[in-house]
Amino acid sequence: MDDETGTAARLPSHSAREHVEQTERFAARNYHPLPVVLASGDGAWVTDVDGRRFLDCLAGYSALNFGHRP
């Protein structure tokens, strides 16, 4: 996945991998989550724990249909 600057996404940090591993171990397996750990969001934009910004194209999915912090 590329970020908004067009640079190739880096591998997730150790902290992000720990969150993903915990989610895979303890969360319900009702869909396959993306390997991104979000730290904040505003409208349709989210920032992960490694400081990368993404346009959230899943905003219509489930409870996030109004975006983040509307």
For the chain, 70 residues long, give each residue's pLDDT as a single digit of tens.
Answer: 445 555 445 656 778 888 888 888 888 777 777 788 889 988 888 999 999 999 987 755 565 556 667 5
Q: Is 68 part of any domain?
A: yes
Residue 20 lies inside a defined structural domain of this protein: no
**Cα(67)–Cα(38) distance, integer angstroms:** 13
Domain that holds residue 61: 38-70
43 within domain boundaries:
yes
Quote the pTM value. 0.57
The runs of H, that is alpha helices, within 1-70 are 14-26
Residue 31, domain member (yes or no): no
Query: What's the structural domain count of the chain?
Result: 1
Residue 5 lies in a domain: no
Asked if the structure places residue 48 within a domain, the reply is: yes
Question: Is residue 32 one of the residues assigned to a domain?
Answer: no
